[in-house]
Amino acid sequence: MNPDMMTEDAAHGAVAAYIGKESTISSTQDILNSGAVPRLSGYMVRPGKVSDSIMGGKFTIFEKDTGKDCVYENPPLNTKDGVPLRIMVRTERISTHDINRGVIPYKDQILAENHNFMRRLLQSAIGTSQFDVPGLADNSVVIAAENLKTIPVENVLRGYMAKSSTSTSLYQAYVVRGERTFAGHKLPEGLVTNGPLPYVMDTPSTKSDDHDATIDMAYLVKNNLCTPEQYVQIRNAGIFAFGMVSQYLKERGIIAVDTKTEHGINRKGEIVSQDEIWTMDSSRFWLANDYQDQLERFQRGEIKEINPKSYSKEFARGFSEGDKGYTDEQRIQIAIRYIVGIQHLLSKPFNPDTRQRDERVISGLETVVRELVA
């Protein structure tokens, strides 16, 4: 182990200290309204579950309080080359079961670094909408990308039947509800909880701000969510990328379990990935030696279920209770798992940017405006 890696005890101390100094965090909209970044004054923010977006043109937000769609319109926001721009601000928010559970210290920086590494690794397979901006570090919480025409489908790929409390999961369908057809796949008898699947399965999901639903290609085409050709490209590229990630992680003692990616069409008519790529929120990773040990014990009948150590949001889901947020101790435990996870995934120490979040966001927005915005 690299001696510079944070141990769990060191991570506990760092996260506890972070929480001890926590102050009120400004929303992305509050930052724009304050005039701290003059070029972006007057823009409305499109909030997401984890990332907020700033872009030009019309967009719709579903307001849960009123149950209605509200339409907003921003002034144009383009790069100096005329490319429509989408600026994303990653937050520390964590959502499980479509409920916001609060914020997790350092989560925004950890997932940004995770995503940036993976998008470079997989760019040849699934493309990217993101710009590499001079002055933005990989753990910057501000991301600049082309504003794509979104294909409203999540490309969900599964190599294992991971145990999950999410209603759209294969586990819930197969084990809890007893279904033997899932997203168009006929499932064999005898699949094991957290065991491997016969092949990497594509199990697409609708993309929604409210809630998602697992579907199949026939549904996508019938409802004009994408064409058959578009889906085949997304699926095949995603499966190829799955193999690339699996090989990379195998060399580091980690199993790639499942993932979901989102896609859109750029100004050249190309389908490319957008938003998160193979992060601990959008994917599951297991520690390989722990998995192998448990698999052997399971096969010998010593344990009833394989329960490998996981680096994913599923760890946080285990703390979820009703519509409650997380306690500070739960937030610490979740943050520690993210810190240890990113160090395993990238084989390098996690070095957090300890500036106040507002300062980091404003600095990132100023850099994007200076380097890219017309």
**Which amino acid belongs to residue 146?**
E
Q: How far apart are the first and last CA of the chain?
A: 46
Q: Give the pLDDT mean for 188-200.
A: 97
What tokens appear for 220 in the block? 């996508």
DSSP 8-state secondary structure symbol assigned to residue 49: S
Residue 210's pLDDT band, with cuts at 50, 70 and 90, is low
Q: Give the pLDDT mean for 270-296.
A: 96
Write down the pLDDT at residue 1: 59
Write down the pLDDT at residue 209: 52
Task: Examine the pLDDT at 70 and tell me if it is beyond 60.
Answer: yes
Write down the pLDDT at residue 20: 87
Residue 48's pLDDT band, with cuts at 50, 70 and 90, is confident
pLDDT in tens, 11-37: 999 999 999 888 778 999 999 999 999
Please name which of 86, 59, 70, 82 lies closest in space to residue 268, comparing C-alpha atoms: 82
Write down the pLDDT at residue 361: 97
Write down the pLDDT at residue 261: 96
Write down the pLDDT at residue 166: 85
Q: Is 184 exposed, middle or buried (0-12, 13-18, 19+ CB in 10 A)?
A: middle
Residue 3's pLDDT band, with cuts at 50, 70 and 90, is confident
Which value, to the nearest 10 degrees, does the dihedral of the CA atoms of residues 175, 179, 184, 190 take? Answer: 50
Please name which of 247, 242, 253 lies closest in space to residue 159, comparing C-alpha atoms: 242
Radius of gyration, CA atoms only, the chain = 21
What's the CATH number of domain 8-371, 3.40.50.450, 2.40.50.100, 1.25.40.10, 3.30.470.20? 3.30.470.20
Buried b (16+ CB within 10 A) or exposed e, 47-75: bbebbbbbbbeeeebeeeeeeeeeeeebe
Write down the pLDDT at residue 357: 92
Q: Give the pLDDT mean for 173-197.
A: 96
Write down the pLDDT at residue 58: 93
Which residues sit opposite 60 in a β-bridge?
Answer: 71
Write down the pLDDT at residue 199: 98
Sort strands 283-287 and 310-311 into parallel, antiparallel or unpaired: antiparallel
Task: Examine the pLDDT at 211 and tell me if it is beyond 70.
Answer: no
pLDDT in tens, 333-346: 999 999 999 999 99
- How does the average pLDDT of the chain come out, rounded? 94
pLDDT in tens, 291-341: 999 999 999 999 999 999 999 888 888 898 889 999 999 999 999 999 999
Task: Examine the pLDDT at 245 and tell me if it is beyond 90.
Answer: yes
Write down the pLDDT at residue 272: 98
Size (the chain), residues:
374
Write down the pLDDT at residue 49: 84
Residue 99's pLDDT band, with cuts at 50, 70 and 90, is confident
Write down the pLDDT at residue 213: 84
Mapped onto helix, strand or coil, the DSSP state of residue 107 is helix
**How many distinct helices (H) and strands (E) make up the chain?**
10, 16
Which of the pair, 97 or 192, is modelled with greater confidence?
Answer: 192
CA distances from 226 to 56, 60, 191, 231, 238 (A): 24, 20, 31, 7, 16
Q: Give the pLDDT mean for 358-364.
A: 96
Please provide the DSSP assignment of 99-145 as one string. EEEEE-TTHHHHHHHHHHHHHHHHHHHH---B---TT--TT-SEEEE
Cα–Cα distance for residue pair 87/141, rounded to 1 Å:
10
Residue 208's pLDDT band, with cuts at 50, 70 and 90, is low
